[in-house]
Structure 1
Amino acid sequence: MKKLTDIGELGIIKRFQQRFPVKSPRVVMGIGDDTAILKGEKGGYELFTTDILIEEVHFRRSSTAPYLLGRKSLAVNISDIAAMGGEPQYFLLSLGAPPKTTLDYLDQLMEGMLYEASRWGVSLIGGDTSSSPERLIINIALWGRVKKKEVLTRSGAGVGDSIFVSGKLGSSAMGLKLLQRGYGLQGEELSSPKGKGKPPEEPHIRECLASHLSPEPRVELGKAIASHHVASSMIDISDGLSRDLMNICRESRTGAQLLKNRIPLSEAVLHLAAEQGEDAHQFALHGGEDYELLFTVPSDRLRKMEKLLEKGLPTPVTMIGSITRQEQGLTMVDQEGNCQPLLPGGYEHFVPHKI
């Protein structure tokens, strides 16, 4: 008998998609993108998304401050709305907690959510609570909105489009590796592995841990890209650059070519990877949870994109490749000019992982 590990996360999603066909004329986009899209009032669209965080799957309490966990649980949902060019509005919270969880822990968790909600003007309007035998479970469902003419999906990329990404990549994946090595961040306090003193590279370690534990949703950037009508497709990088670019290619029925030397990496990732004798690009390509925006721009909109860059964007963006024909697949050109197939890595549920 087949198990979930035999078909993976994508296979599971497809099974639900096949058995639950969309019947309502209000549904513009169902399963298969960062959010669902429904027809709203006055010609606008409503956006719905949900994400779940499970202890020992997505986080460990021993290395994650409850305040930061509260922020992240809402931020990852807000990032989905940002990827559609939308604005977050309301959320529902479902919380499963072991009965022995302290009230102080719960209060700090709420403070983190409240901070993130206040930043983006999002209101909590309901939810559910339940006891959980051992592990903390946080599920958030978020509602947002976007103008009909500004909504962006994964399926609009075309051959010849340029590929852009915001910010710098790889810090979150490096932060996860540091957590696995025994580092932690509790508020402003950096904890080191047992038996080790204060590390000389503390600023780099702190930066990567913060990137993983408290991601920054690019709401203002997403709205700027959408309102200026420069992009043909967009997604947020939650599962790694290679896998999320593959998601755009699959939905758009295209291929893509990345330029390795154009992929933006933070100084912290470059420093720590070199120290460990590793390729910093692997953290950017296959790490995940950067929550930066990955988007494509058609050639006839590049001049408009250049003008937008000249005016300044809320977050810097970098051109890292181009969209190609579907039969060319996903490829990457290295520093020597050699073009090789790029196999998608990144995070996939129902495949064994360490956190």
Structure 2
Amino acid sequence: MNVPFLDLKMQYQSISEEIDIVLRQVLNATAFSGGPFVERFEEQFATFSQCKHAIGVGSGTEALWLSLLALGVGTGDEVITVPNTFIATVEAISLCGATPVFVDVDDKCYTMDPALLEAAITPRTKAIIPVHLYGQVCNMDPIMKIARKHGLLVVEDACQAHGAEYKGRRAGSIGNAGCFSFYPGKNLGAYGEAGGVTTNDHHLAAKIKMLRDHGQSKKYAHDMIGVNSRMDGLQGAVLGVKLKYLASWNYARIRNADLYRERLGGVEGVVLPEKMPYAHHIYHIFAIGVQDRDLLMKALAEKEIGCGVHYPVPVHLQDAYSFMGHKKGSFPVAEKCAEETLSLPMFAELTEEQIEHTADVIKKHFRHPLSSAA
């Protein structure tokens, strides 16, 4: 039985009629850059995210970068985040001219460990970027308490957390800004590159809108230096259709995660992801912990089961950030995560039979593991 890691074709087939209609509407209206389809999606996503404003931009990376720029982060500033994330989180800090400062992650959920945060603050610290990883939010109360105590900005990296919640509050609605990626594989994905920023700050929203459009306050009136990071109309239209289904897709993912837990619970050698009591987890990724991960990946591949690693090298050990001088052992929990986590197939249309097959292969592997020399 073939079990893909992700199947976007199945998702498209379930909504193809609506998608095809709205794409033709964009084409007929020639609303290609920004325009009414983007504006409608922004309004809908703001409401969904429990925020006053949502601003469509070109990608999740640009959402993070423009948010930091709009908040005044720049050369000489430090921004605290985690090394266990996609590199875009840290790139956004560097692109502002600021310096990333890492804290390790919690060993239960692999998100920022608030107990380590205060020790990383210096007089140069300007902001904190907590990363809501795999679809589960960070423990935001202690993070926000520390930020208020030290007068720091908080930019939520919610690029994997569309619809995730912290004590009933949506990801992206807690800090000064929330940043989302609508990369095709996300729980809410476009048919190309797209991103968004949510905020309750009117002035911040207005500034990000200008920054995404070459700093324009009106046509050919450039109040600041900006970039081209406008969401295109085709992506706005697609996202507007998909947003209607996001809650049901997220609950399908939760159901699938529960099935994995039932099938893999108690299997010696498998560490299941923890659900934190404060979090509504929407399972962008279902990552288990295993030793000898490569052997399990080989066993899954032999049975045509897709899997992934998120992420194999933490940012502090990437060549791009070697200038910071971090060594192996600097952030041991993030490094353990990089060495031992394995992402199993996870999407709304995944069937119980596919989950059962995947679990059976994993259980068989741990009863009769492949040799590393095989």
TM-score, normalising length: structure 1: 0.26
More strand by share: 1
TM-score, normalising length: structure 2: 0.25
